[in-house]
Amino acid sequence: MRAHVLAHLADHRARVSPGSTSPPLMVGFQGPQGSGKTFLSSLLAETLRAPPHSLSVAVLSIDDLYLPHDGLVALAHAYPHNGLLKGRGQPGTHDLPLGLAVLNNLREINDGAARAVQLPRFEKSLHGGEGDRVEGGPVVRPPLDVVILEGWCVGFYPIADGELERRWGRPVPGLGADFLERRGFRKDDVREVNGLLRAYLPWWDCLQVFVQIKPEDAHPYTHIYKWRRQQEHHMKAQNGGKGMTDAQVEAFVDRYIPGYVFFGDGVTEGGVDSGGEMRRPPWLQRGQRIEIDENREVVGVSTF
């Protein structure tokens, strides 16, 4: 990951006109729940900050860009029959204007205005675990070398309705032919999220380089349940047993599987915009995929 980002940072700086200030390199970082994406993106940032590189790096989590609590409640009321939108997590539950403003401000932070950018912060423990935005997010100051936007659905693209129909009828690898129906999801639920995802494309347009953490192809979804259970067990061992049961963890992960099934390959393939036109990711030819097994051991590294 470090070599991948450093190589593209050097190329990024080489394209800046002599005498001009280089804007930060914008890096997308995606991985499923429990894969270690938050840890790895933080580790990447710390490695880049340390000598001999000594870079200035900002990490922005998509989890800190959720709508405030009242916005999440209003969204759930607007889609009363859609179980995917009951609570934070899915495309549609983020504050899109806020996220775009923060990303644009970070991109322009080196332009000579010497302005600081305060990152938002979302506290998941508030309102009985429903969460809310809070004050006091970290402040980023220029000069800035690298920005990392990390999250489970970073780089996901919407698909054409005909493609949604085709994918709906296919078995979910490792989870069964009728997984979606068994877990109570409707085609219209996915269609609504697909429509909401179109508004995320301006976020993705800000990104230049990508790192993806991905389960091995033989088990694209089943490992996610194991990883998330392990995370919960670790947390409960440290806090006296407070957290979800295994059944609750399974239900929690269930809500995210449709996102991976229908939109996850957008990271490498792109998707359609609101006008139905095909859009390719801006980071193509500058993406790195790290494939991991059920023990989170690296089994393959490739570029896209």
Within 13 Å, how many C-alpha atoms sit on residue 41's CB side? 26
Please tell me the total count of domains within the chain: 1
Q: Are strands 146-151 and 57-61 parallel, antiparallel or unpaired?
A: parallel
Does residue 240 sit within a domain? yes
Where b means 16+ CB within 10 Å and e means fewer, 8-41 reads bbeebeeeeeeeeebbbbbbbbbbbbbbbbbebb
Does residue 302 sit within a domain? no
Find tokens 């593209």 and name the residue: 8
Is residue 60 within 8 Å of residue 148, measured between CB atoms? yes
Does residue 213 sit within a domain? yes
Is residue 210 within 8 Å of residue 288, measured between CB atoms? yes
Does residue 301 sit within a domain? no
Range of the domain at 249: 1-14+22-293
Is residue 30 within 8 Å of residue 266, measured between CB atoms? no
Tens of pLDDT, residue by residue, the chain (304 residues): 999 999 999 999 999 988 889 999 999 999 999 999 999 999 999 999 999 999 999 999 999 999 999 999 999 999 999 999 999 999 999 999 999 999 999 999 999 876 899 999 999 989 988 999 999 999 999 999 999 999 999 999 999 999 999 999 899 999 988 999 999 999 999 999 999 999 999 999 999 999 999 999 999 999 999 999 999 999 889 989 888 899 999 999 999 999 999 999 999 999 999 999 999 999 999 999 999 999 999 999 999 9
Nearest to 260 by CA among 195, 167, 160, 182: 167
Does residue 111 sit within a domain? yes
Report the CATH number that the domain containing residue 209 is assigned in CATH.
Answer: 3.40.50.300
* pTM for the whole structure: 0.95
* Cis bond upstream, residue 51 (ω within 30): no
Helix axis angle, 222-239 to 246-254, nearest 10°: 130
Query: Residue 30 and residue 211: Cα distance in Å, rounded?
Result: 6
Does residue 258 sit within a domain? yes
Does residue 124 sit within a domain? yes
Question: Could you count the other beta carbons within 10 Å of the beta carbon of residue 135?
Answer: 7
Does residue 304 sit within a domain? no
Q: Supply 30's token pair.
A: 């995606």
Helix (H) or strand (E) holding 257: helix 257-263
